[in-house]
Structure 1
Amino acid sequence: MIQNLRLYSGLTLFAYVLTHLLNHAAGIVSPEFMETAANYTTELWQFPPLEILLLVALITHFLLATARLTSRRSLRLRKSEWAQMILGLCIPFLLFRHIIATRVVDLGFNVDPAYERVLLDLAVFLPSQGLLQAITIIVVWTHGCIGIYFWLRVKPFFPKWRNVLGTLAILIPTLALAGYGAAAAEIMRRVDEGGRKYVFGVLDAANVNDAAVAFYEKALVPCMIAAILLALAPFVVRQVRQTFDRVKRGPILNLPNGRTVRVAPGATALEALRDAGIPMASVCGGHGRCTTCRLHCGSGLDQLAAPGPIEHAALKSIGAPNGMRLACQIRPQNDLAVAPLLPPNASARDGRRPGGLSGSERQVVSMFVDLRDSTRLGEMKMPYDVLFILNQFFAEMTEALRSTGGFYAQFTGDGLMALYGHQSDDTERMILNAFEGAAEMLRRIDALNEHLKSELPHTLRIGIGMHMGKAIVGEMGPPGHENISAIGDTINTAARLEAQTKGHGVPLVISKTLFDHGPIPLPDHAVLHEVALRGKDRSVAYYALETMPDLTGAMAGTDQKPAMAT
């Protein structure tokens, strides 16, 4: 409701500014033509209902805009957002003189705000004010155009009309300034020709009197102070609020990479993440329209307030599954696990795509398998021969997964990603199945080497990295081509562990977590390694193994066979 009020009040003001600038453009012809055109543009706004609407829109828009600025917990904004905010705060300071000299004096002292009289003031009596008025045209129009851009860029039709609208955004103020300049030049020419007689004739016709001039001069200083205070007030109030917030303990956002972000009381998740220096997409500027700031929420989701009307409509438009929320709309009151679902450079088009994720946060074993020396294989064999060998390799690895309850989640060129436990909550069983799957892969690669002995220029070797933890598991990918996969720190760690097999020269790198939580005994003489893996803030403990641990005792201790993948 509040965002709609701000939007519609802004559109009302923009409509007024548009008609005003079109009236200015008429000055290219003459000041008299400006006056005639005003009957069909600016004077329409003097119709009482429209004038009341304009005044209400002005007050509403200013109050809502300053309230939004005051409520911001973070000022880490994009350049376009900063530009809109700064230009908006400058508008009262730039406009108050013009409003006093025209509308206030007009109503209070019966002075006619005819264009000829106003142009005489700006071009002859106060040329510096005339320059300021030209700057005001640019500032007000730019502020409005940025707001219109934020509103329209999430619309499907916007890319088609973008160039047309951009051209109009430049052409309209250019014509307005040209008309304003041409009319001002014409007035200066008339002053040079008619002298004092012309000047006093214009002033008398407009009923400019001493009382009106005195009121204008006395009102300048207090109105200037008021305009400055209005611009500074949101920052002062915001600073006071932040001072109080520092003594309160806010909730924590837990990210997949293990990083935590504290949320200031009342702040949105988007504000907290940006304030912590974490890039987040937000095409619409945090108004809940684009869905590019979508998050998957894990533990703590049940304590979040239900989506409001704006968020509900946005999530419904993309068919968002349970657990997806918009970072710009949620204000966590308790600790919450979150994972951004779109990259920081996501576009409005990305935000219109379906949620693309139907799943939940689960405990899984993630396995990455990589075929060693595949590049050298490509150099020594013909492409079709390499394709044949790779197809044989993937067939064997897939069968190893199928027979041990694993799930083939992702193809990576010369390797694959697999999941165990994506449909089960039995931690020991998923770990045992994953170890059995790794053992089966090593057996099958040996068998494949024997079977393709005459075809291979060198022995095929694989590296396997395994890790266990929480991950978001579900359907994801391009619309119409989704597949079951997983994202999260657990997946990234498993991939990094697989890369460590090259450095250690071993086929297996298994995280300590799997041995701590599973039924598999640690091999004798196993050495614990702990390093900060590439791209991670925290270290990970793991074992680099030449051979598989003994699974005999663990398999004998259970009366279940490995679950078959479905």
Structure 2
Amino acid sequence: MIQNLRLYSGLTMFAYVLTHLLNHAAGIISPEFMETASDFSTGLWKFPPLEILLLVSLVTHFILATGRLTGRRSLRLRKSEWAQMILGLCIPFLLFRHIIATRVIDLGFDVESPYERVLLDLAVFLPSQGILQAITVIVVWTHGCIGIHFWLRVKPFYPKWRNVLGTLAILIPALSLAGYGAAAAEIMRRVEEGGRKYVFGVLEAANVNDAAIAFYEKILIPCIILTIALAVAPFVVRQVRQTIDRVKRGPILNLPNGRTIRVPPGATALEALRDAGIAMASVCGGHGRCTTCRLHCGSGLDQLAQPGQIEAAALKSIQAPHGMRLACQIRPQNDLAVVPLMAPNASARDGRRPGGLSGSERQVVSMFIDLRDSTRLGEMKMPYDVLFILNQFFAEMTEALRSTGGYYAQFTGDGLMALYGHESDDTERMILNAFEGAAEMLRRIEGLNDHLKSELPHALRIGIGIHMGKAIVGEMGPPGRENISAIGDTINTAARLEAQTKGHGVPLVISKTLFDHGPIPLPENAVLHEVALRGKDQSVAYYALDAMPDLTGAMTRQDQKPALAT
């Protein structure tokens, strides 16, 4: 609710600024054209309901923005966030003179403020104020553009329109300043030609009186003090609150590398991590819209407050799995183990990816498949012939995976890595699917041998290693080329088991774990092997098989499960 109020109040003011700058651009033609154009632009904002809306938006936006600054536990911000904050705090100081001279005095002393009178003030009487007004235009516009950029950059359409909007963001203030400068130059020319008669004629027509001038001069110093105080107050309040917070003991964030970070009372996890010097992605600036500050929460998750409306909507949009939270939205009250799930340079596009693929620990079946004697094949065939055969091989293996619910996770030259169960928690089903996949691969390799008999110098053979256990599954790889894969001890073990097929001279090496937890019966003649595999400290038990176990009974039981459940 508060974020929406800050957004919509900012958009309301930006709409006013936009019409104001477009009106300034009319000064390229003449001051009179500026006045005429104002009836269709800035004049609309003098309609009482719109003027009240504008005033309420101004007050609301400033209070919410400074309140957010006061509530920040960390000021480790990106340059763009610092720029938006500092520019926003400068606006009251830069703008109050213009508001008093053109609106407060108008209402309080019945003074008219046509562009001719305003330009006379800024170009002739107070040229330094005229320069300050030009600076104000740039500051206000830049502050608004940064805010709109933060809002839009999480939208899917934004990259397509970003260059167009960026061009307009430069063109509009440039035309506005050009119109302002051209109109001011014209007024100065008229003063030189008309002298005092022209000047007093303009002032008299605008009903500029001594009481209005005296009021402006009297209120100037108090307003300067007030606007400076408004800019400094958030930092003072924040410092006082931090001094009080240091007395309290905040909760601890535990990171995977063993580092611990104390969270100031009331701070978000994002603020605590950034304050500790840990780079974290946050494309939307911590508003809970981009989901790039994703965390996997371990111990302590149950003690976290449930996601609020903003966080819940964001997590739902990416189908976030259990344990995933947004660092910018959670305020830990107890110790919490966290793992950042996205790179510090993650983009808005990354934030739209499904949450389940960002990286989480899952129970999976890992399978490595290797084509035997591929080196000898390369020595006996032309390169293009080898490429053709390998493409046929990978096409068959991929189809075997697709038809049995497996996922092609990694290419390894003359082999591949596959995953089963990366999107399921049904252990028996993932094991059965993996066995079905291995059986389908063996059938397809035989079919490929028959199909390419005239092309092959020897029959194609494969070795398959299968293991099951916990692994970190998620999108991995260089930016823009990520794919779903897995890492961990389970994956390494499966690769080592595949290498054992060569020593045993069999197509299948399957870890004992799959038979212990799955529905597949162990063949009667199977011999258990237990060896310390290369690169591992502990031994691994496995079976070396020259043929697939019988899957018929297990498949029947799996097919009957839904019927029995009903």
Aligned match of 1:203: 203
Residues 108/386 of structure 1: CA separation in 2 closer, same or farther (3 Å cut) = closer
Aligned match of 1:14: 14
How far is the alpha carbon of 1:251 from its aligned partner?
1.5
- String of CA shifts for 1:303-337, please: whole Å, max 9, x gaps: 11111111111111122222221111111111222
How far is the alpha carbon of 1:167 from its aligned partner?
1.5
Aligned match of 2:251: 251
Identify unmatched segments of 5+ residues in structure 1. Answer: 393-406, 425-454, 456-465, 499-520, 524-541, 552-563
How far is the alpha carbon of 1:380 from its aligned partner?
13
State how 1:94-493 maps to structure 2 within 5 Å: 94-357=94-357, 361=361, 411=410, 413=412, 472=472, 486=486
How far is the alpha carbon of 1:231 from its aligned partner?
0.6
- String of CA shifts for 1:373-403, please: whole Å, max 9, x gaps: x99x9999987889999x99xxxxxxxxxxx
Tell me if structure 2 keeps the 8 A contact 1:295–1:325.
Answer: yes
Tell me if structure 1 keeps the 8 A contact 2:410–2:485.
Answer: no
Paired residues in the alignment total: 491
Residues 358/232 of structure 1: CA separation in 2 closer, same or farther (3 Å cut) = closer
Residues 191/310 of structure 1: CA separation in 2 closer, same or farther (3 Å cut) = same
How far is the alpha carbon of 1:368 from its aligned partner?
12
Q: Distance in 1 between matches of 2:230 and 2:408?
A: 57
Aligned match of 1:462: none
Tell me if structure 1 keeps the 8 A contact 2:293–2:326.
Answer: yes
How far is the alpha carbon of 1:208 from its aligned partner?
1.1
How far is the alpha carbon of 1:357 from its aligned partner?
3.4
Which segment is superposed worse, 251-260 or 162-171?
A: 251-260
State how 1:62-77 maps to structure 2 within 5 Å: 62-77=62-77
State how 1:493-504 maps to structure 2 within 5 Å: none
Residues 265/385 of structure 1: CA separation in 2 closer, same or farther (3 Å cut) = same
Give the AA of the match of 1:413: T
Q: Distance in 2 between matches of 1:299 and 1:380?
A: 57
Aligned match of 1:23: 23
TM-score, length basis structure 2: 0.71
Give the AA of the match of 1:235: F
TM-score, length basis structure 1: 0.71
- String of CA shifts for 1:417-461, please: whole Å, max 9, x gaps: 89999999xxxxxxxxxxxxxxxxxxxxxxxxxxxxxx9xxxxxx
Give the AA of the match of 2:412: G
State how 1:22-61 maps to structure 2 within 5 Å: 22-61=22-61
Residues 366/185 of structure 1: CA separation in 2 closer, same or farther (3 Å cut) = same
Tell me if structure 2 keeps the 8 A contact 1:123–1:188.
Answer: yes
- String of CA shifts for 1:149-170, please: whole Å, max 9, x gaps: 1111111221222222112111
Residues 115/165 of structure 1: CA separation in 2 closer, same or farther (3 Å cut) = same
- String of CA shifts for 1:225-284, please: whole Å, max 9, x gaps: 111111111111111111122222212222223322221111111111111221111111
Other structure's SS at 2:261 match: strand
Q: Distance in 2 between matches of 1:234 and 1:379?
A: 74
Tell me if structure 2 keeps the 8 A contact 1:6–1:65.
Answer: yes
Residues 338/365 of structure 1: CA separation in 2 closer, same or farther (3 Å cut) = farther
Residues 368/259 of structure 1: CA separation in 2 closer, same or farther (3 Å cut) = farther
Identify unmatched segments of 5+ residues in structure 2. Answer: 394-405, 426-456, 458-466, 496-529, 543-553, 559-566
Give the AA of the match of 2:67: A
Task: Give % identity.
Answer: 81
Q: Distance in 2 between matches of 1:185 and 1:358?
A: 59
Tell me if structure 2 keeps the 8 A contact 1:255–1:337.
Answer: yes
Tell me if structure 2 keeps the 8 A contact 1:298–1:360.
Answer: no
Q: Distance in 2 between matches of 1:380 and 1:282?
A: 55
Q: Distance in 1 between matches of 2:238 and 2:77?
A: 15
Q: Distance in 1 between matches of 2:486 and 2:233?
A: 47
Give the AA of the match of 1:147: G
Tell me if structure 2 keeps the 8 A contact 1:356–1:476.
Answer: no
Residues 158/287 of structure 1: CA separation in 2 closer, same or farther (3 Å cut) = same
- String of CA shifts for 1:322-367, please: whole Å, max 9, x gaps: 2221111111111222222221111111112222339965799999
Q: Distance in 2 between matches of 1:118 and 1:83?
A: 30
Q: Distance in 2 between matches of 1:365 and 1:265?
A: 43
Give the AA of the match of 2:301: L
Tell me if structure 2 keeps the 8 A contact 1:293–1:342.
Answer: yes
How large is the RMSD of aligned CA atoms in angstroms? 5.1
